[in-house]
Amino acid sequence: MTTTTNIVTQGKRRPGQARPRTRVEPIYYWFLVPTLILFTLAITVPAVIGIFFSFTNSIGLGEWDFVGFRNYVALFSDPLVVQSYLFTFGFSLVTVLAVNIIALLLAVALTSRIRLKTPLRAIFVIPMVISAIVISFVFKFLFSNSLPVLGNISGIAWLQESILANPDWAWLAIVIVTAWQAIPSALLIYIAGILSIPGEVYEAADIDGASKAQQLLRITVPLMFGYIMINVLIGFKGFLSAYDVIKGLTGGGPGTSTYSIAMTVVSGLTTGDYAYQMANATVFFVVTVVIAVVQLSITRGRNAL
């Protein structure tokens, strides 16, 4: 009896007894410490330096003086900065909706009982491995040359002019190209989510007479809420920093109608507005942090992976 009691109570911490220390293998520090050093030197230190110079009148070199919040106050009266924020958030919202809707529908199709679904999955993943700047130049040729020629041949009026030259519709071309490249990564996550749902759930729904649309809306979407939120969060934050596709496709034009926040910051740094654009980048950083906190508070307690 005594032996049994000792075995049962072995490993249990008595009241007042110190918690046993868990030994950490040294190999973990060999991975952690270099990563922390590189992250600090490449990310944290430059960010702190940039925030510091946002309170100065520095042009990036030479002498400088403190100007307080003058750069931050000027941002809110700068029409280019205001327009870039409106465009970036509007473009990000439309793109993240398009990407997730199309990717989810494709995932449902590519996990159903269709032939050649494995080769099709490989084909749909190709855009994500191609450089964004290469994709933008290819689509720029299509929008500026191929489609207008097709419009002239077919007599379709709205195709005869390049959409990139229209300040009211150039953003749509950016959405199309960005979504075309972003859909594959979201598609892979949705395929993994759908494959994790037990098949018995759909079999029971078939027996009850539920249509495919009802199964999608009442089974697939609710059970994949965690995957959907991952794609939305990752996609939205990525689209907010869009630069490559816009630079290669429109260069921010026509005029400044498609200037993103990232383009505004980079273009300002090359024209001597270093401190001013550091203030712009700091405000953008704060905005993204606030968005992340709000999104996490909304999704907290919901279904997770």
**Sign of the torsion formed by the C-alpha atoms of 232, 48, 245 and 124:** negative
Q: What percent of the chain has pLDDT over 70?
A: 90
Instruction: State the average pLDDT over residues 273-289.
Output: 91
Instruction: State the average pLDDT over residues 36-44.
Output: 91
The residue count for the chain: 305
Q: What is the pLDDT of residue 279?
A: 93
Chain-centroid distance, C-alpha 258 = 18
Instruction: State the average pLDDT over residues 94-111.
Output: 92
pLDDT at position 80 over 50: yes
CA angle 170/175/180 to nearest 5° reads 130
Whole-angstrom Cα distance, residue 209 to residue 78?
Answer: 59
Whole-angstrom Cα distance, residue 187 to residue 63?
Answer: 51
**159-to-100, 166, 180, 222 alpha-carbon distances in Å:** 27, 12, 20, 40
Q: What is the pLDDT of residue 14?
A: 58
Instruction: State the average pLDDT over residues 186-193.
Output: 92
Chain-centroid distance, C-alpha 178 = 11
- Beta bridge partners, 66, equal 56
Each residue's pLDDT tens digit, 120-143 = 878 888 888 888 889 999 999 999
pLDDT band at 302 (very low <50, low <70, confident <90, very high): low
Give the CATH number of domain 79-299: 1.10.3720.10
The residue extents of the domains of the chain are: 79-299
25 vs 150, more confident: 150
